Chain A
Amino acid sequence: MNWMQRQRLLGYVFIAPNLIGMTIFMLIPALFSFYLMFTDWVFANGQPPQFIGFGNFKRMIEDDLFAVSVRNTLLILIPVPISIMLGFLIAVMLNNRVYFQKTLRAFFFAPYFTSGIAIAFVWMVLFQPSSGPINAFLGSIGIADPPKWFASPDTAMYAVLIMMTAGGIGYNMIIYLAALQEISSEQLEAAKIDGATFGQLLRLIILPLVSPTTFFLMITGFIGSIKGFGMIYAITQGGPANSTTVFSIFAYKKAFNFYEMGYASAVSWTMFLLILGITLIQWAGQKKWVHY
């Protein structure tokens, strides 16, 4: 074997560490979980997994939590377009219509960058029903009976949606700002000379030009939203009365509160199918509005 051939074989050496890691921590778990979804297996009771075909899925469709999770998982999609829209408007404003552009960009991006469990707990206290700042404000503008937010099954999901919307704006803004800076100023100047108003510029030139970015943000935003777990679970554990149980919390509870590993696997793969389905629908719909 000559030197050149040996160098080519080095390719395997280069990817080996990563490939081994991926196999152990992703590929094997994925296959294992794929098998588990067709079994009945309660971990820790000493029995081996029992193959039951699609039994878990039949059970899931009849599960009350399934309907709740589907509803909440669809609700949790709402913040995505809202925060995309707000992020876009902010980016348009920051893109050469303000002073201190860089400082403002950092101000808007920081809340996204730091969001996590700590900020979730801040929201929990802000939404404190009896005397928290949000209800104190609502009281001061004359709302006599403000919502109980996280404390009531009727309103907990609204609090989650508000928290999610606020958290996503900074990211969408930064992505749009980058896209806006790629638009040539000549094109905009030309339209202005032709007498286009700012609204027309926005609707007829800027929006179509950034439509691939919007598409990207919709796809990744929906995926991220459906997968979201930590910030909701840390505050509510899916409650009160399961009112904030989304798919990821549904799967988590079955696995780690009840150790029903087969059933939990079926639930988590259903979540994957949901993500895949929503992504494919968007993919199919892109021809209508995305201009490359």
Chain B
Amino acid sequence: MMNVTSSRIVKERLGKGLSTVFMVLASLLLLSPMLWMISTSFKKAKDVFTYPIQWIPSDPVLSNHIKVWTAGDGFAMFYFNSLKISLILMIGAPLLAAIAAYGFSRIEFKGRNVIFVLYLCLMMIPQQVLFVPKFIMFEWMHIYNTHWALILPGLFTVFGVFMFRQFFMSIPHEISEAAFIDGAGHFRIFCRLFLPLSKPVLATFAIIDFTWTWNDYENALIFLLDKKLYTVPLGMQNFMLEAGVDYNMMMAAATASVVPLLIVFFFGQKYIIQSFSSSAVKG
């Protein structure tokens, strides 16, 4: 009896070990473009396409990275622009969404549901439909070719309002009613009670918003003209065109632009994975 169970355990462990090895290999395959990018960013030009692939450069150099940051292409400036816009939006957008979501979930006023259904409809319209009219309107508003063209529209998200509304509706009504009876107004309840309670949602949305803004290529492509205003994705495209066949330089630039995302992913993993999973399961 003893032997039968222990041999079954051994067999199970062996199976689990084998599938672990297999899955590690599969994940490395998916990670390989990123791994290749990082390793190539440390290679000399002559080693870029050697085959079999040198995953660890035989003769690693830092010069590509130094050149990306110091050359006249302004990569440091693109970085600064992206950081500025991303940081403003990752603080502003969650706050504005939370305020609106409180109104939609906790105060009953005339027209509330009509407005909310309108939001639902707006969410279905793809960005591409709005690019042409926004381009024209931004010219009229004199914000075309300024960072405002990315910041102002970015502050208002339907997605954020939904996310906070969902969360606020899960807070028991008794809590806010008790405060209400004690004479606290909606502003007090929102600032003192709801904002502190929604710290995890604020963090999650801030992370998601940061990655959106950091990766946003389309808005920058359409609304920015001056090179000194470029954000990282647009600046990188410009850099790629100028780099020509300097693939090791290209990969150093690509690595630089992915690093902030990797840092955010590493520290915010818990929030990120939770938020992605819960949004889908709850439908």
In contact, A99 and B16 (Cβ under 8 angstroms): yes
Judge whether A18 is part of the interface by a CB distance below 8 angstroms.
yes
Known interface pairs A98-B19, A119-B258, A269-B129; A213-B281 also in contact (CB < 8 Å): yes
Closest to B125 in A: A30
In contact, A106 and B19 (Cβ under 8 angstroms): no
Stretch at the interface among A3-11, A151-159, A188-196: A3-11
Known interface pairs A18-B99, A119-B34, A122-B34; A8-B109 also in contact (CB < 8 Å): yes
In contact, A268 and B258 (Cβ under 8 angstroms): no
User: Which residues of the partner chain A approach B215 to less than 8 Å between Cβ atoms?
Assistant: 116-117, 230
In contact, B233 and A25 (Cβ under 8 angstroms): no
- Tell me the complex Cα distance, A272–B266, Å: 36
User: Which residues of the partner chain B approach A8 to less than 8 Å between Cβ atoms?
Assistant: 107-109
B185 to chain A, nearest CB (A): 6
A122, A170, A216, A255 pick with most chain B CB within 10 angstroms: A122
* A33 contact from B133, B187, B214, Cβ within 8 A: B133
- Tell me the complex Cα distance, A14–B168, Å: 14
Known interface pairs A43-B136, A133-B36; A113-B251 also in contact (CB < 8 Å): no
* A97 contact from B16, B129, B221, Cβ within 8 A: B16
Count of A interface residues, CB-CB < 8 Å: 92
- Tell me the complex Cα distance, A214–B125, Å: 23
In contact, B33 and A123 (Cβ under 8 angstroms): yes
Closest to A113 in B: B265
Judge whether A29 is part of the interface by a CB distance below 8 angstroms.
yes
* B132 contact from A121, A122, A265, Cβ within 8 A: A265
Closest to A19 in B: B115
Judge whether A161 is part of the interface by a CB distance below 8 angstroms.
no
Judge whether A132 is part of the interface by a CB distance below 8 angstroms.
yes
In contact, A99 and B272 (Cβ under 8 angstroms): no
In contact, B31 and A111 (Cβ under 8 angstroms): yes
Interface residues in A235-269 (C-beta closer than 8 Å to B)? 247-248, 251-252, 255-256, 261, 264-265, 268-269
Judge whether A109 is part of the interface by a CB distance below 8 angstroms.
yes
- Tell me the complex Cα distance, A90–B20, Å: 11
User: Which residues of the partner chain B approach A229 to less than 8 Å between Cβ atoms?
Assistant: 128, 218
In contact, A104 and B251 (Cβ under 8 angstroms): no
- Tell me the complex Cα distance, A269–B179, Å: 48
User: Which residues of the partner chain A approach B30 to less than 8 Å between Cβ atoms?
Assistant: 107-108, 111, 166, 169-170
- Tell me the complex Cα distance, A26–B125, Å: 9
User: Which residues of the partner chain A approach B180 to less than 8 Å between Cβ atoms?
Assistant: 7
In contact, A252 and B128 (Cβ under 8 angstroms): yes
Closest to A44 in B: B139
* A136 contact from B31, B49, B112, B127, Cβ within 8 A: B49
User: Which residues of the partner chain B approach A11 to less than 8 Å between Cβ atoms?
Assistant: 103, 107-109, 112
Interface residues in B80-110 (C-beta closer than 8 Å to A)? 96-97, 99-100, 102-104, 107-109
In contact, A272 and B281 (Cβ under 8 angstroms): no
Known interface pairs A104-B23, A136-B51, A174-B276; A252-B34 also in contact (CB < 8 Å): no
* B153 contact from A25, A90, A139, A261, Cβ within 8 A: A25
In contact, B19 and A15 (Cβ under 8 angstroms): no
In contact, A28 and B34 (Cβ under 8 angstroms): no
Chain B interface mostly = helix
Closest to B277 in A: A178
User: Which residues of the partner chain A approach B137 to less than 8 Å between Cβ atoms?
Assistant: 28-29, 32
- Tell me the complex Cα distance, A15–B158, Å: 12
B136 to chain A, nearest CB (A): 7
Count of B interface residues, CB-CB < 8 Å: 93
User: Which residues of the partner chain B approach A93 to less than 8 Å between Cβ atoms?
Assistant: 19, 22-23
In contact, A14 and B103 (Cβ under 8 angstroms): yes
In contact, B128 and A251 (Cβ under 8 angstroms): yes
In contact, A227 and B128 (Cβ under 8 angstroms): yes
In contact, B107 and A7 (Cβ under 8 angstroms): yes
* B250 contact from A43, A94, A125, A171, Cβ within 8 A: A125
In contact, A118 and B257 (Cβ under 8 angstroms): yes
Judge whether B9 is part of the interface by a CB distance below 8 angstroms.
no
B229 to chain A, nearest CB (A): 17
In contact, A131 and B49 (Cβ under 8 angstroms): yes
User: Which residues of the partner chain B approach A109 to less than 8 Å between Cβ atoms?
Assistant: 273
Mind listing 16 A-B residue pairs with CB under 8 Å? A11-B107, A14-B103, A22-B122, A30-B122, A90-B26, A106-B269, A111-B33, A122-B251, A131-B49, A136-B51, A166-B33, A216-B280, A234-B233, A247-B128, A256-B135, A271-B129
Chain B residues at the A interface, C-beta cutoff of 8 Å: 15-17, 19-20, 22-24, 26-28, 30-31, 33-34, 36-37, 40, 49, 51-53, 96-97, 99-100, 102-104, 107-109, 112, 115, 118-119, 122, 124-137, 152-153, 155-156, 158, 161, 180, 185-187, 190, 211, 214-215, 217-218, 221-222, 233, 236-237, 240, 247, 250-251, 253-255, 257-258, 261-262, 265, 269, 272-273, 276-278, 280-281, 283
Chain A residues at the B interface, C-beta cutoff of 8 Å: 7-15, 17-19, 21-22, 25-30, 32-33, 36, 43, 90, 93-94, 97-100, 104-111, 113-114, 116-119, 121-123, 125-126, 128, 131-133, 136-137, 139-140, 166, 169-171, 174-175, 177-179, 182, 212-213, 216-217, 227, 229-230, 233-234, 247-248, 251-252, 255-256, 261, 264-265, 268-269, 271-272, 275-276
